[in-house]
Amino acid sequence: MARAKLAVLISGRGSNLQSLIDAAVDAGFPAEVSLVISNRPKAEGLKHATKAGIHQLVIDHKDFQTREDFDDALNDALRATKVDYVCLAGFMRMLTPKFVNDWRGRLINIHPSLLPAFKGLHVHERMIDAGIKIAGCSVHFVSAEVDAGPIIGQAAVPVLPGDDADTLAARILEQEHKLYPACVKLIAENKARLSGAVVPFDSSITAAGALSNPPGV
């Protein structure tokens, strides 16, 4: 069976891109990264694509007058490569509703909180300030509303005494690197799919991409 072709969109260091590249090294993984696109020419994550021999493009948002023009260029590049799914991995651009609708059910994002809590930016700082005891990350299908699309899988981690935003972010990131490939695998194998506003799973699946219980909680 042919592997699903992934495009990964990045703006920064690309650690979740690397987790998908690493997962695809296993011949049994049902997807492979075929294209990496960055909106920032100096994004560190481009080095991961270079090292892995993956085709990469820079589509600098500063070269376009409108978000629509930028998204059109992005869409053209994705269509030309004939990718099956688009994975956002630290892609710091708001996508237009048209782009989101064009890729509905094939556009995936990872967010460093247990959605629907703590949508948006500065997530780790806000969780520390709120005094929560359990944090985590979520993989979801992208909708026009930011961080509001149907959830595919989540992983939880404890917030420990003495944590600051950096230590909490590092603990969550470890789970992100496990969760994203697990959810992509489910989608590529058609065991998880978008249906309306929810993500039903194949009857053989007992956990959505891995909702992990934090140790000691």
Catalytic-role residue among 48, 55, 61, 111? 111
CA distance 159 to 123: 13
> Parallel, antiparallel, or unpaired for β 107-111 and 134-141?
antiparallel
The token duo for 217 is 């909680």
CA distance 62 to 198: 35
∠ CA 120-125-130, nearest 5°, is 95
User: Do residues 27 and 104 make contact, with C-beta atoms less than 8 angstroms apart?
Assistant: no
User: Do residues 60 and 70 make contact, with C-beta atoms less than 8 angstroms apart?
Assistant: no
> Which residue's entry shows tokens 């997962």?
23
Helix (H/G/I), strand (E/B), else coil: 112: coil
Is 111 among the residues known to form the active site?
A: yes
User: Do residues 126 and 158 make contact, with C-beta atoms less than 8 angstroms apart?
Assistant: no
> Which residue's entry shows tokens 């709120």?
130
Torsion of CA 164, 166, 170, 173, to 10 degrees: 110
Active site residues: 111
